[in-house]
Each structure stands twice: as structure tokens, then as C-alpha cells.
Structure 1
Amino acid sequence: MAIAVSHHAASTVDSHRHQLLKSSGCHHEFANVSLRLTSKILKINIGPLSYSFVKRNLSTIQASVSQTSVFDAVSSPSWKSTSDSLKKPSEAALILVRHGESLWNEKNLFTGCVDVPLTKRGVEEAIEAGKRISNIPVDMIYTSALIRAQMTAMLAMTQHRRKKVPIFIHNETEQAKAWSQIFSEDTKKQSIPVIAAWQLNERMYGELQGLNKQETAERYGKEQVHEWRRSYNIPPPNGESLEMCAERAVAYFMDNIEPQLLAGKNVLIAAHGNSLRSIIMYLDKLTSQEVISLELSTGIPLLYIFKEGKFIRRGSPVGPTEAGVYAYTRHLAQYRQKLDEMMH
């Protein structure tokens, strides 16, 4: 079933790409065109547009289309030499973290896509999450479009030992891009681009949004509410099922985030219980039955290593004062050692 979801998501994305490529006029010749080909990625720059085609296997090509951002993807850490920065990274870190407790979590309300902030406890959970990942490199941050996920990512990064500044990328319009430009190369190198995407939002709970969960169970019956909350393909009234949430979240991950990992970028995703469960379903190749029993605690980061085209679950780093041996790899241990040397 997980494979079916991935294939469905891929076909949806491929259809979208076909229309976008067609409408953008890529079948015509351009004067300002550059190509870069690696073993896995073909990157085509056409004026302000950048197209990255990622080869997954001999028969399938996935593509990523993105506007040129306010600043390029963050460069290698300053302690690396020029020759080191030219080497293809052997692995990349992927950190998933569910947002901290929100004000509606506290009130036991169905939240879904309603945009509510964190509680005091949620703020503390986000800060604790930051401490756990403070020794892990982060080059790109993706969040949902909802404030509780964005607050979690921003608060977490205040604890990172590299002290880079997370900066939201605004490219909705030409004016938004122009007004948010950065004119210092040094500042760009000390910044982390943050991209907010609605596709990473919590699943939309339809007519349940804003209702108290206990009162809803009393009104509709516990079995019915449990079916809406925990089944894979049965949505609540006028809402999304987990399957529907997975289609958009996994498609976005494959189209936008996986190419960054292939390029060696270390990525943090701050999102929600159901959008992250969907992504984990894809990463761990879970079935529809396995994913519905998957529970994610608020504010607890989960680390994956992307290496040789595979995702390897490493668990949750335990904190800044301990190595978290079971979660760390040799590459991450070396990164931490460099951080220690910089701080002393």
C-alpha cells in the first residue's frame, strides 16, 4: 500500500510538472541556458527558473521545479576547505519534528488546518527539541504554512550551536522576492533558508475542526470518531483522510525535499502528526495498517540518514551534553567535533 501511495503521488507530481514545463515554454530555445549533469541529478537553469531532474531508477525520472530563491542553498560550513566543499557528500541528515503543544491541543480540540500558536509548554518542547539537534548540521528548513510548526522550527534553531539565522523565503511575487533580498554574502553564509509549504500542513479535519474531542465522541459515538481519526482512507465529514494527506505530503517531499538531500543538504522538517506520519510511511515503507498505529510525540525530533539513495532511521538524539551514539554516524560525530573545536 505504501508503494501504491508513492506511485500515486509520483504520478500526480509528474502530471503537474508536465503542465508546468509546457506552460513555461521549455520546448523553445533560450539564450540563457546552462546544464549541469551528475550521476543522479540533471540541473537546468533557464533565466530565473531552475529545473532539477532526479534519477530514481532506470525507468523513472522525478523532477523538481523551483524559482531562484532569495539566496542560494547555504554553503558548506566555514571550517571546510575549498577542496572539501567540492566533494560530493557521502550522506545527509533529515530531521523530522512534530510541533510542540498548541493552544487547541491543550483544550482537546480538533485543530487540523486552523492556525493556532503554541502554549507555554509547546514553546518549552520546541526549545528542548532544539537542544536535541543542536549538534546536527541543518542547511535547509521546511515547515508547514501553520504558525505552530513555524514557531517550533524557529525556537528549535535558537539552540543550535552553529548560530545560523533561519530566514523565511518569500517568493510569492516579484515584489516579495525583491523586497527580501540580502546583499551581504557573509550574511547569506550565516543564514538558513526556511520554506513554508501548505502541503506539509496537518490533515484537514473538515467539520470536526474546533470541536472538543470528548464531546464529539459523545455526539457521534466513540467508534465513529475513532474511525475518522485512525483509519487510513475514511475522511471526517468534508475533511481529509490520512491517505489524502499522504498524497500531498509525500508528493511535496519527493518533488522538493528529496532533491536537496540528494545534493547533500541537511534538512529539518517541522510539521504535524499526520503529514509527518505520511512522510515516515514513505521513508520506512510502511503499510496502511502500520502507519495508522504510528504515534509521534510533540517536540521529539526523529533523525534519518540519507545515504546511497536510502533512508536509514537513526532514532532521536538525546541532547547536547551526550553523544547519542545510537543516533549519530561517523560523519555527524566529526561535525560535532568540529563544533567543539570552534567553541573553544
Structure 2
Amino acid sequence: MSLREAETPLSSPSNRPAGSPVGTLILVRHGQSETNAANIFTGTLDPPLTARGENEARTLGTKLRDLDVPPVTHAYSSPLRRAHDSLQLILEALDQHPSPAITVDAALNERDYGLLNGRDKDWAAREYGAEQVQAWRRGYRAVPPGGESLEITVERVWRYYEREILPRLERGECLLVVSHGNTLRGVCMRLDGLDEDEVLKLQLGTGAYRVYRIDADGKVVERRTFAVNGLEGGPQ
């Protein structure tokens, strides 16, 4: 697989004293799941990885091993097995000793699509109208029946980030978070300062990952983006 990468400084050099802690945050979208491959709204469903998804996760572990980042001190995933299994495969390929501690939390779950969960996307367009389905998928505040808007998802994951992840980064730890497309879009939205329109254009394909350097004030000082097969976008 070919891999594209870009390095983007996001702020001027810090005025903090030399030696102040700088944490590393590695955000990874899980490998391809069976419902990703089948064009189905996945949401809170719990399908397994495809063979391609398993390979994406192993490839990511190998790539992370070669990155210029500190050893991972703590890893996070949602309880949905496409994320948790991806994390396990990444850690096996990373082959780090000692292995990092792992936290599994439902706050990192994918966006809940409500009645759309498990539905074929083409069927949904015929049932509810293509324009309405597009609004649910790509609108920031639109809420599918019984589900979550992207706005709700962003608020959920950001509360968890501030409570559980940020304090570790401010202490200079290196953290690996394996989660879902919409969940990670929420984290990236806040870290990159994206507005509601800009975040809708951000698509993280399966196997895509981003590396952020976070200073002791919680500010991003560097960002690097990586994508399998030269594409960062992909179906959500």
C-alpha cells in the first residue's frame, strides 16, 4: 500500500520554557468493517472487520512503529469490535514492550444513526428521499429518527477528550485513540478549529490516521495526516 503524509505546523513556536511537556495524540479510524463494504449505515451496529480492514489495521501498526513518536503510554477505543479489534491488531504489529494500558469507553462510539442503523444507504434514499438522507448524513445539526446529529456526537466525544485524554497529553504522554469516522471528525473539528461547514468536508477513510503534538496548555503545535492508498477520505 502506498501512503501519503503531510506535516502541518499549526501555531507559532511556544513561549513555554524549554523542556515543558509536549504530548502526542494519534487518532486512528478503524479498518474497514463488513457494513462499510456493503454501503450500510453502521452507526452503533457491531460488525466485524473485513480481511481488508484487518490488513489496514496491521499496516497501521507497522507504520506507527516507524514513526518518529514516543512509545504509546495509553490506548483508547470504543467497545464496538471494529474499533477494539483494530486496536488489538495495531498493537500486535506495533510490538511495543511493555504494551500500553487500554481504556475502552462507549463515549468513543460511532454516531448513532437511529432508525437508519443497519439500513442500506440506497434503500434509505428511496424510503425517506435522497435530499433528506443527505441532510441527515452531512448536516451538522440534522438528527435522523431516534439517532444523533453530528453536533451531538461532537459534544459527546469532546467532553470525554477534555476529561480523560487531555490531562494525559498535558503531562506529555503519547496516546493512541482508535475510534470511528464521525467521532474522530469531532475531535479534529475542535483541535483544528474547523467551523460547521468545514467539518462536513472532513472525511476520514478506514485506516486513516492523524498525529497531533499537544503542548502543556492543551494547544496543538503540530499536525501530521496519513492515509492508506493516498486517500484520507472514505465512506462514513
> TM-score, normalising length from structure 1?
0.58
**Residue type matched to 1:150 in 2?**
H
**Residue type matched to 2:145 in 1?**
P
1:316 pairs with one of 218, 222, 225: 225
Match of 1:288 in 2: 196
Match of 1:134 in 2: 65
Q: Kindly provide the CA deviation profile for residues 314-336 of structure 1, in whole angstroms up to 9, marking residues without a partner as x.
A: 223689xxxxxxxxxxxxxxxxx
CA distance, structure 2, for counterparts of residue 116 and residue 160 of structure 1: 24
Contact 2:21 2:171 survives alignment (8 Å): no
Shift of 1:90: 3.2
Instruction: Give the secondary structure class of the aligned counterpart of 1:134.
Output: helix
Change (3 A) 1:317 1:109: closer
Shift of 1:297: 1.2
Q: Gapped runs of 5+ residues in structure 1?
A: 1-86, 165-189, 320-344
Establish whether residue 125 from structure 1 lines up as the match of residue 59 from structure 2.
no
Higher relative contact order at CA 8 Å, sep ≥6: structure 1 or structure 2? 2
Establish whether residue 158 from structure 1 lines up as the match of residue 97 from structure 2.
no
Contact 2:41 2:117 survives alignment (8 Å): yes
Match of 1:239 in 2: 147
Match of 2:78 in 1: 144
Match of 1:98 in 2: 29
Contact 1:132 1:317 survives alignment (8 Å): no
Shift of 1:218: 1.8
Instruction: Give the secondary structure class of the aligned counterpart of 2:100.
Output: strand
Change (3 A) 1:318 1:102: closer
Moved over 2 A (4+): 87-90, 316-319
Establish whether residue 272 from structure 1 lines up as the match of residue 180 from structure 2.
yes
Contact 2:44 2:113 survives alignment (8 Å): yes
CA distance, structure 2, for counterparts of residue 96 and residue 122 of structure 1: 16
Contact 1:133 1:301 survives alignment (8 Å): no
The aligned runs of 1:57-206 (5 Å cut-off) are: 90-135=21-66, 136=69, 137-161=71-95, 163-164=96-97, 190-206=98-114
Match of 1:252 in 2: 160
Contact 1:143 1:195 survives alignment (8 Å): yes
Match of 2:3 in 1: none
Establish whether residue 213 from structure 1 lines up as the match of residue 147 from structure 2.
no
Change (3 A) 1:318 1:146: closer
> TM-score, normalising length from structure 2?
0.83
The alignment covers a number of residue pairs equal to 207
CA distance, structure 2, for counterparts of residue 279 and residue 317 of structure 1: 16
Q: Kindly provide the CA deviation profile for residues 156-178 of structure 1, in whole angstroms up to 9, marking residues without a partner as x.
A: 111225x23xxxxxxxxxxxxxx
Contact 2:212 2:221 survives alignment (8 Å): yes
CA distance, structure 2, for counterparts of residue 212 and residue 271 of structure 1: 22
CA distance, structure 1, for counterparts of residue 227 and residue 137 of structure 2: 30
Match of 1:22 in 2: none
Establish whether residue 302 from structure 1 lines up as the match of residue 213 from structure 2.
no
Shift of 1:252: 0.2
Contact 1:153 1:270 survives alignment (8 Å): yes
CA distance, structure 2, for counterparts of residue 318 and residue 296 of structure 1: 8
Shift of 1:123: 0.3
Q: Percent of counterpart pairs with the same letter? A: 40
Change (3 A) 1:318 1:243: closer
